[in-house]
Structures are given as structure tokens and as C-alpha cells.
Chains A and B, each alone.
Chain A
Amino acid sequence: MSTLTKQDAFSSLIDAAPSTFAAARSAAKEAYASQGLPAVKAEEYKFTNISKKLEQSLIDFAVAQPVSITAEQVKAALYEGFEGDVLVFSNGQYLPELSSKIEGIEVSLLSAKTDLPLGSIANPAKDPFAALNQASFQDGVFISVPKKTQVEKPILLLSFDQANAGQVIQPRVWIEAGDFAEVTFIDQTVSLGDAVYFVNEVVEVKGGINSQIRYYRLQNEGKSALEVSTIETDIQKDARFTSVNISLSGDMVRNNLNLNLRGSNSEGNMYGIYLLNGKSHVDNHTNVDHTIPHAESNELYKGILADQSRGVFNGKIFVRQDAQKTNAFQQNNNILLSEDATVNTKPQLEIWADDVKCSHGCTVGQLDEEALFYLQARGIDKTQAKGLLLHAFAGEVLEKIETESFRDYCDALIQARLGSKF
């Protein structure tokens, strides 16, 4: 019954929502009401009892208002070697005055784009948190890369989160890349303070014909982060979308990544690392829907889990009847470094077409003792040998990041973690 109470509390958030996007909000409100927060036995949230966490952690269900951020803070938050443009957010709200003016690219508050079909990509009827966001987000950001525009340097989406205990932050992002456009996003959050608040994010991405979109995301917010995110994209003919998600911490984090391959010769890539210790809990749910022939999806998620951490992986691949000549590959590998660490992995392949190439597999194991001994037998000390092996394990995903400076930065974070903790 208490779950219902919290649901009511979210309802008050919904009732107090801004008046923009009235139709979209009203549809989402209905979608939220009919789904409710996931029950304990809800299949999609079986291993990630986010409802219970929300109940324990959320106090006032107030919206976390943006706080003032200085240019110095922005500068200090840039990782070493970063070159590119920065869009700055505070508690989910876009701050134009601190953000770069990117030549040839349109960036504005979402509220200035009232005719956008919000929810047409991330359908609120599919997930209660996507519905909650759509019904009650404050404002968001609209980013449009025009046709044939090649954005050479990455665009950093830099979020500063500073909320009071129990508050809610709901970022909402709409990204459009025109036909033949190419762009790379790096999504990074800086947590100021250590209160337990809830981040519920939705990113909708619309890629044009032959567009190339890379979306790199680093989740390193801190041990108390409570987060659900939904990234969903429609991928058109000859287009490619690549996601790399690196999770290094979080009390409970749920990432929903949904790719819809809508045109032939389109390609969707989903890569991820979760490197967890303490009591961190990270859940990656991915979903790729092959609806047309001659498309390809690749997926590789790797987990390294120490202490009492928990990783969840669920990868769904749907190959519809018309999607002949599909190539779909999925792999999830995990290394458990402690007896108390847990992984729940579930590859899920549903194929209705008969002329396809698909594979999936998952492994859960310990560090390879034979490899460890081999390195030690050459004079490398045990801790360093473990670090080398784990780093190599994660390296296969890291190398999917094409932006060298960001790859090096993530690599350094991972190496530091492997050297210190494990």
C-alpha cells in the first residue's frame, strides 16, 4: 500500500507540472496512472527494486530548482584534454548563458519548441518512469544538427546536480540530426553535495538518413545516486547510432536504452562497462528492435563487480518477420571479484524472420587464475597482475569510444579504480 502512497506523491508532482506540451503531458499522465510505479514482482524491474528505494529515500517530492553555477565551476569540471563545445545544465535545466554557442547548430530550451512530438520516440506507455518524466518535467533542451553538418568536436552535456534530500531532477533532452549529419555527445554529470535525490532522465534522439550519432555517457555521480534514465532513438536508413555507457558508481541506477532500427542498412551499437564496488547497483536494460531487412546491431556489455555490488543486464533483441538479412550480435561478460557480488544477466532474443545472423551469449566468472599465475610467474605482483587483466577485460569496450581524449579520461578513471580497490 505504501507504494501507492508514493505514487500519489508523484501524482502531486504531475499535477504541479508546467503548462507547456499539454497534450503530451496529459497522455503521459494517463500512461503513468495506468502503469504505476513498478511493483515488486514487475518483470522489467525484477532485480531492481527502485520503487522501494524511492520510498526509503524520497521525502518531499519537490522539484529540485536550478542552482547558480559559475563559469569557473564549468571550467574546473572539464576533463583533462577535452576539446569541444559545452552545454551546461543545473538540476536538469539548460543554462544558455554558461553554454557554448555552437556554430551551425541550434540549441534552445525545449519550451521554445512547443510543436515537438515529445514521446513519439520514447513512448510513455512502455515505461512508468518515461511517463513520469514526460508528465512532469520542468523544461528541457532541444539540440538540432542540420542536414550534412559534420560536427568535428564532441558536444559535452555537462550536468551539475545539487538537490536536497528527497528532491527530484528530471532532465529532458531532444536531439535531432539531419540527413548525413555527424555528431558526438559526451554526457557527464557532476554531483555537488551528497544528498540522496532522484534523477529521472529521458533523451529522445532522431537521426536522419545516413546520419552518424555517437552518445557517450559516464556515470560517476557518487555512491548515493538514485537514477533512472531512458535513451531512445529511431535510426533511419543508412544511419548509425552508437552508445557507450560507463557506470562507475551509484546507489541504484537503471539505464534503459532502446534502439529502433527503422531503415535498411542502419546500424545500432550498444556498448557498456559497469565497474562497481561497495553496494552499488547498476541495471542496464537494452532493447533493439529490428523492423526492416538488412540492418545490424552490435552489443557488448562488460561488468566487473567487487564487494556487495550488483549488476543487472537485460538485452532484448527483436527481429520482426520483415527484418530478413539482419545481423544482431549480443554479448555480456561479467567478472565477480567477491563472493558477495551478484550479477543477473538475461539475454533475450526473439526472432520471427528466418534468414538472419544472430548470436548472443553471457558469461559470469572469476578472474582467470591461470592468466594471473602466468603474469605473476614473470615477476608482476599479484595486485598489478589483477589490474592488468581487468583493465584488458574492460578495454574491449573502452576502445569503442572514438573520441581519444574521452577514452583516455575514462581509461584513467578505470585504471585508478582497479589499482586502488581491487
Chain B
Amino acid sequence: MLSIKNLHASIEGTPILRGINLEVKAGEVHAIMGPNGSGKSTLASVLAGREEYEVTEGEVVFQNKDLLELAPEDRAREGVFLAFQYPVEIPGVSSTNFLRTAVNQVREYRGLEQLDAVKFLTLMKEKMKLVEIDQKLLSRSLNEGFSGGEKKRNEIFQMAMLEPTLSILDETDSGLDIDALRIVSNGVNQLKSDKNATIVVTHYQRLLDYIVPDYVHVLYKGRIVKSGTKELALELEEKGYDWIKDEIDSAATV
């Protein structure tokens, strides 16, 4: 589904990603872990098409298409979804109107009929249950005045509405209390199928107790330096990142 080869990206001339290789197949959950500043969020942003990052080398193929050639909106329409680390507050744009515009533009691109107000509302009500989100929240301006947990739940709710093929969760767990984490994870798990895939970007192992990954990758200094199964995450939880840093840094000096 997704094939990343030798991906290099920089921001304002500073290289952040220095040769990422990653293969993701339908039905899989990949966790990307790593210390702060290792490039985790940059990878998520580059995949979603954030313009500040410049891809200097490498390729990303998503369902046989060159992802890097596509505008952010077309990536979304093709089925890439980024759950933001910091969902943006947009005063004056109601969540419902925003989502209806988004859903219908995505549907149009995919050759599906537009949803009228009634059908949209029915779909919305069904998906709201997934993340236990209150309709009152959705009649307000997008994310404005939402608590941290509400914002993250709203991200997963949007994900449910847009039915992506590849979901990238960027630090979705950060700042969540255990109840919110359970709700968010439960939503993600219910949306999983053998046709879609999930990349979970996180600093903490805790999330992976709830969203169980098939593969765990450790990112450090812009490269994937170690890959394994969920046991690797537990090892990181126990030992921290220093041992990996030491391993890589000493190897580099030799």
C-alpha cells in the first residue's frame, strides 16, 4: 500500500529525514517511536504534504501513485489521513459544515454521490458513537475551546467520517488521560480492517497497549535504526532510548 524509499526531507535547509525506508501493507499497524527530535512528526507531515518541508531525495508510492506529486487535499482524497498532533482551532467555521464540505469533496474525487444534509447527518450520528463525541461539540466552531481530549477525539471522528486507507496518528496519545486514551484507541481499533493500514507515531509505549502494532520502528536522527515487533516497544519502555542512541552513535564513530 505504502512504500517509502530513501526519503530525505529538510526544513529551511536543515535535514531532518535522512533516508527513511518503510513498507506498509493493507491490514497492518506500524508504530514509529523515537526520542524527541528524531523526525517522527516530520515523517507524518511529509506524508500528509505539509509545505514547509522540502523532500530532497527518495520516493513515496501510495497505492501505485507518486504521493509526493500530490497536493495535500489530493492525498486526503486518495485516502491518506493525518490525525494532527496539534489540531488547529478555526473560529467561525463550524465542525459540521467543515466536515460536510470535506466529506463531499472526498466523495466527489472518489466518484461517489454527494451526501445531502439528511444522509450526512445520519452518517455523522453513526460515527459519533465510535468516539463518544457529543453533537453539541460539533455545532461549535472547529476545535475552538475544545479540551485536549476533545480535540483528539474529534480527529478520530473525522477519520471515521473520511474513511481513509492509510491513517497516520501523530502523537494522538500525548496529553490524554487514561479514559480519553481508551476512547480514542477504541475508535481507531474499530476502524481497522484488512483493507486499511495505520501508522502510529508516538513517544510513549502506553498507547501500544491499546492499539497493538504489528511492527515497531525506532526513528533516530532521521533514520529507522531498529525494527521489531511490539516487544521492542516494551523494551524501549523499560530501558528508554539511550541504549539505542549509544548503539547508533558508537557505531557511527567506529
Using A371-B88, A373-B72, A379-B73 as known contacts, say yes or no to A388 and B93 having CB atoms under 8 A apart.
yes
Partner of A376, one of B73, B90, B109: B73
Quick check: B73 and A380 within 8 Å, CB to CB?
yes
Contact mask for chain B residues 37-72; partner A; CB cutoff 8 A; 1 contact, 0 none: 000000000001111000000000000000000011
Quick check: A388 and B98 within 8 Å, CB to CB?
yes
A386 to B25, CA, bound (A): 35
Using A373-B50, A373-B51, A373-B72 as known contacts, say yes or no to A379 and B109 having CB atoms under 8 A apart.
yes
Quick check: B105 and A379 within 8 Å, CB to CB?
yes
Contact mask for chain B residues 225-254; partner A; CB cutoff 8 A; 1 contact, 0 none: 000000000000000000000000000000
A interface: dominant SS: helix
Segment touching B, from A214-222, A267-275, A342-350, A389-397: A389-397
Which of B76, B87, B158 has the most CB atoms of chain A within a 10 A radius of its CB? B76
Quick check: A377 and B90 within 8 Å, CB to CB?
no
Count of chain A residues near B, Cβ 8 A: 23
List, in ascending order, chain A residues with CB within 8 A of B81's CB.
Answer: 377
Report if A60 contacts B (CB, 8 A): no
Quick check: B102 and A380 within 8 Å, CB to CB?
yes
Report if B145 contacts A (CB, 8 A): no
A379 to B81, CA, bound (A): 9
List, in ascending order, chain A residues with CB within 8 A of B77's CB.
Answer: 379
Count of chain B residues near A, Cβ 8 A: 30
List, in ascending order, chain B residues with CB within 8 A of A374's CB.
Answer: 84, 87-88, 90
Quick check: A377 and B98 within 8 Å, CB to CB?
no
Using A380-B101, A388-B98 as known contacts, say yes or no to A395 and B92 having CB atoms under 8 A apart.
yes
Partner of A377, one of B48, B92, B101, B103: B48
A380 to B103, CA, bound (A): 9
List, in ascending order, chain B residues with CB within 8 A of A392's CB.
Answer: 90-93, 141
A384 to B72, CA, bound (A): 13
Smallest beta-carbon distance B170→chain A, Å: 11
Report if A378 contacts B (CB, 8 A): yes
Report if B162 contacts A (CB, 8 A): yes
Quick check: B105 and A376 within 8 Å, CB to CB?
no
Using A377-B82, A379-B106, A382-B73 as known contacts, say yes or no to A393 and B92 having CB atoms under 8 A apart.
yes
A393 to B93, CA, bound (A): 9
List, in ascending order, chain A residues with CB within 8 A of B72's CB.
Answer: 373, 376-377
Quick check: A382 and B71 within 8 Å, CB to CB?
yes
A11 to B100, CA, bound (A): 60
Report if A375 contacts B (CB, 8 A): yes
List, in ascending order, chain A residues with CB within 8 A of B75's CB.
Answer: 377
List, in ascending order, chain A residues with CB within 8 A of B106's CB.
Answer: 378-379
List, in ascending order, chain B residues with CB within 8 A of A380's CB.
Answer: 73, 98, 101-102, 105
Q: Which residue of the partner chain B has the closest CB to A381?
A: B73
Q: Which residue of the partner chain A has the closest CB to B104?
A: A379
Partner of B92, one of A369, A376, A384, A396: A396
Partner of B88, one of A370, A379, A381, A388: A370
Smallest beta-carbon distance B103→chain A, Å: 8
List, in ascending order, chain B residues with CB within 8 A of A385's CB.
Answer: 73
Given contacts A373-B49, A376-B76, A382-B71, 5 further A-B contacts (CB under 8 A): A369-B51, A373-B50, A375-B102, A388-B101, A395-B92
Residues of B bordering A, CB below 8 Å: 48-51, 71-73, 75-77, 81-82, 84, 87-88, 90-93, 98-99, 101-103, 105-106, 109, 141, 158, 162
Residues of A bordering B, CB below 8 Å: 368-371, 373-382, 384-385, 388-389, 391-393, 395-396
* Contacts A/B (CB < 8 Å), 17 sampled: A368-B88, A373-B51, A374-B87, A376-B72, A377-B48, A377-B81, A378-B102, A378-B162, A379-B105, A380-B98, A380-B105, A382-B73, A384-B105, A388-B98, A388-B101, A392-B93, A392-B141
- The 7 A-B residue pairs with the shortest CB-CB distance, nearest first, are A392-B92, A379-B76, A376-B72, A379-B106, A378-B102, A374-B88, A376-B73
